[in-house]
Structure formats: structure tokens, C-alpha cells
A and B are shown apart, each in its own frame.
Chain A
């Protein structure tokens, strides 16, 4: 694993906008950063990223089985009890999942360590799937990189295949939704809708605020069309607590991600996985706050709210002193403590690897960089390639 400095394409903004990438710059700061790229060997990708990602996914499935049978665990995860059966049913039915992203600490030297699992509403998808793919093709075409480079990135074709297989019979009608006034979320959903259309689906967008409830208990879109399958870029923990929460179970709707993803998209997962497989090479020691075993953690550790997005409310401690933190609105549901991992660090930048799964198959990589050890929503996205 190396960080290679490269000259950005002179017209890189136009090149990425051509693909429909609208948020390469966020609040005046570069988000898509091609002034450098990360280079991996194929062995690093397959042995250190791809295989552990698949192994962790299997471990997560085993944990779901355990959690669904344990009121204690579901309570610790702060999942409202009125939704437990709804979640169990989705797992028993085998509701399929579309995608997720494991955030890993990896510097090429030791095993990758799981920082968290964005199992429910991951973004950075379009830039992972399309923009960095096109970047590599162009870099090879203009000899900035040698021909024969590759990339861990079959996201696009996997997403199309996965959409076709989410529900039978296929093609089916799919609604996609996200909140208003978020370019990043809308960009992600636009891309997924494009994939769904290419899978032959009747794909329709509606903002989450437009969703209505029909008299027969089903949800409907802004045009009053009943929603049968819903991709929602909106977290389960919020859906579980809003006005329509008690309509979820009776809505005759197949949700993507399925309700059982609520078990995984929760930082409590990290403590629970360590409980199941203490010493696993790809896990960091982690406990729920208040567990006496927290005393066994390294003096350098991280405190994370159970529900947190984009680094919000995460604090990095070193011997009782806060080294870095990010403010935010989360934390009321409790916290976990987790040993701090050694992030890859090059030229004053800290890198976190995002390892993608589509339909639970590892199939892509993205890298986000920050100048501090907590990856936030201001972090920059850097492309990667596999050396020939």
C-alpha cells in the first residue's frame, strides 16, 4: 500500500461532471481529490481487504441470529421493542439486502481492523463505483499510470445484478427515497435509480417527506402510487421513531435495506462482535460504556454513540484526555468504547478504507482521507488502483 502523488487532470472538474458527479467540491472544499492515489498489490486487496470483508459479513450474520433471539442484546442496541418482531420477520423471510460499507483501518502492515459497519445508508457510492473507475481508465489512457492497472471495483455491475434479484418476480416496481435538500444523498439515490432502471425495473423517485399512507395501510409516493418495494437512504433508527413507525409492519412493503440491517448499522455491533469473537484479527476490542471490561481497553481509545453518522459525536481519548472530537446531535441512546486503531498515515493524512459489499459480496474499495484521525463528512475521497 502506497500513496502516490499524481497531477490532477487539468480539467478534472469537467471530467467528473461529465459523469453527473455534482458534489466533487463541498462547501468550497475539494471532496474528490485526485492529487494522489493509493496503490495496492493484488495480494493486499484479496488477502487483506476482500477476504476479511467477507469473513466479517458472515460473522455479522451469525450475530443477527444471536441478537434476534436475545431481548438483552436488542435492548442494548436501543432498538424499540415494538419493532423487534418486524425485524425478526424480515430476517426469517430472507429479505435481501443491497449494499453496505465496512470502514477499515489498514496500513499495509498488519490485518485490517473493523472501525464500523455502514450497513444501512452508506454513501460515497457513485464516486466509488463510477468516478474512480473512469479516473483509472483515463489515467492509463494518458500514461499517467501503466496499462494493466486494475481496481477493486465491480460495484456497478454488481448493483445492477443485485437490483434484479432483490424481489421475485422481477422486474418489479421500485421506489427510491431520500430527504430533500441533500445533494449528496440525492446524488447517491439518482445513481442507484439509474442502476435499477438498467436492471429493467420500473424505478420511481419520491422524497421521504412526500410519502403518504393509503387507507389500506400501504405507503404511497407523491403521486399516490402504492409503494411495494422501497429503497430508503434514511436510517432505520429514525424510521422506527417517526410518525409512521407503527405503520411499517402493516405496509406490505419490502424495504431495502431490510429491517434486519438495523442490527448491524449500530455501533453496539462492534462491542457485540468482540464479545462473540474476542481476539479476532480483524476486530478491535470494544465494550458498551459502563461495562467494567472497559478498563481493559488501551488508554488510547474512541468513544462512539450507538447511532452516529459521518464521524459526528466521536471522541478520541489518549490517557483520559480528548485528542480529537466531532460535534453532533447523537449520543442519547448510549455509547461504546473501542480501542483506537492505527490508521494509515502518509504526508500528514489519515486514511480510512471503505470496503464495499453488494448483496453481501465484497466487491469494491474507496478511500477517504482527513488531516485528523476522525473521518468526517468533510473528508476527501481519493481513488485507488491495483498495481500490475
Chain B
């Protein structure tokens, strides 16, 4: 076969799978993220029932594994405003961080691997008002959606920094889907100038690429 076996586009949350391919030739651990059941269905490569199954699976794991709170404010202190939902766990009313998406290992397409639930980023990773773009994406969509409805896929933004969205896992790890230009480690050096590249393209009307 002379074509790729599978194409994952994290930016638009799409997994494309070739109709057939030789098995077992690649075991790399790429992960792909769908923000919602609607995203998964809209992608069209998994059947609607497969999408539903993966989200149900992730929701069940989520409810089991997510940290339980007794009040919304406690939960929001940890996961940010608008990031929590109520749920019933073992007959008790609890508050848990909303499911922000699911992450699929590449191997899922070959039949293995469960969908991992993704939670909103913790306030520790994304403090309120954080300018890190992964955080902005996460906050703006988590405040307008809950559970597995709405939200939408993240797309490349027109701003100068890249599109990225932050999540956390049930175990508290931070996941950045599609890394952005959050400020890196502090350096002792400072900027001496800016704008020394790009002048040629502005004097030409044609493209810089071919």
C-alpha cells in the first residue's frame, strides 16, 4: 500500500482511517481528541454508534474516576468557573468537573485502547485570566458547555499564537492538545530588537512559497 494508513488531525479533531491497511506495522502512541460527541459524529469517520460507545465509555470512567465534591464552589475552586456539573454517584448527589472531551490512542482504531476522559484544566495549570492560549480555549468553551454536549472542536486561531487547548486527566495531569505558545521558561536574556525578518515578502505581491 502506497498511502498512509491513518490520518489524525488534532487541530480539527478528526481521525481518518484507511479502509484497509496492513496491521501491526506501527505502534506509535499518538493521541487524538474529540471535544464532544457532536464533534466525533461530524468527523464522520467513526460511525455514530462508535462515537456514542466511546463517549459512553469515557463518561462512565469519568464518573468513576473524577474527584467528587459536595458543592459547586469547591469544584470550581479547583477546575475553574463554569467547569463543573452535578452528578449522582452511589446514590449521592455530588459535583464533578465536566467532561471536556475524550482522548483516543491511535491504537483504538485497531480495536484496542479505551477512550480516556478529559477534564477542564485545573486552576493550578490555568489560573483565572491566564493568557496562555490553551487556557483561554479551555475556559471559553467550558463555560458555555457542560458534559458532552456542545463545545465544538478547536480550530487554528488567527492570532499570532497557535491554537491549543488545555485539559487535565482524572489523575491530575495536564494535557495540552496541540501545543501553543504559552510563555516558556524564564530566560536571563532580553530582547534587543524585533522585526528583522519579513521585509522581502512585503515588497513582493506574490507568495513566499511555491
Contact = CB atoms under 8 A, between A and B. Distances in A.
A222 B196 contact: no
A205 B134 CA distance: 13
Interface string B1-21: 111111111111010101100
Contact of B197 (A18, A45, A242): A242
Contact of A223 (B6, B44, B183, B205): B183
Contacts of B160: 205-207, 210, 222
A194 B3 contact: no
Interface string A17-31: 011100000000000
Contacts of B184: 173, 223, 225-226
Given A123-B210, A197-B178, A198-B30, A153 B204 contact: no
Interface in A114-128: 118, 121-123
A179 to B, nearest CB: 5
A155 B4 contact: yes
B161 A222 contact: yes
A215 B201 contact: no
B197 A208 contact: yes
Contact of A213 (B19, B180, B196): B196
Nearest to A175: B181
Contacts of B18: 137
A150 interface: yes
Contact of B162 (A129, A180, A193, A242): A193
A214 B189 contact: yes
Interface residues of A, number: 82
B210 A310 contact: yes
A151 B2 contact: yes
A149 B210 CA distance: 29
A309 interface: yes
A156 B4 contact: yes
A134 B28 CA distance: 22
A165 to B, nearest CB: 12
B175 to A, nearest CB: 12
Contacts of B190: 214-215, 224
Interface string A143-187: 000010011111111001000000000000100001110101110
B201 A234 contact: yes
Given A140-B19, A204-B179, A309 B210 contact: yes
B46 interface: no
B91 interface: no
Contacts of B196: 211-213, 242-244, 247
B198 interface: yes
B9 A19 contact: yes
B207 interface: yes
Nearest to A173: B184
Contacts of B42: 18
A197 B198 contact: no
Given A205-B160, A205-B161, A222-B161, A213 B210 contact: no
Nearest to B183: A223
A95 to B, nearest CB: 19
A150 B3 CA distance: 7
Contacts of B10: 194, 197-198
A377 B4 contact: no
Contacts of A211: 194-198
Contacts of A264: none
Contacts of A160: 28, 30
B206 interface: yes
A216 interface: yes
Contacts of A130: 7, 9, 16
B161 A238 contact: no
A110 B161 CA distance: 48
A133 B198 contact: no
Given A121-B209, A209-B197, 19 more contacts: A20-B14, A136-B3, A151-B3, A153-B2, A160-B30, A179-B202, A184-B209, A190-B162, A193-B162, A197-B179, A198-B8, A203-B162, A203-B178, A208-B201, A223-B182, A223-B184, A233-B208, A241-B200, A377-B206
Interface of B: 1-12, 14, 16, 18-19, 26, 28, 30, 42-44, 155-156, 160-162, 177-184, 187, 189-210
11 contacts: A19-B12, A20-B155, A123-B209, A154-B4, A157-B4, A173-B184, A206-B181, A209-B197, A235-B209, A310-B206, A310-B210
Ranked nearest first, the 7 interchain pairs of A and B with the lowest CB-CB distance are: A244-B196, A212-B194, A243-B196, A238-B200, A225-B184, A205-B162, A209-B198
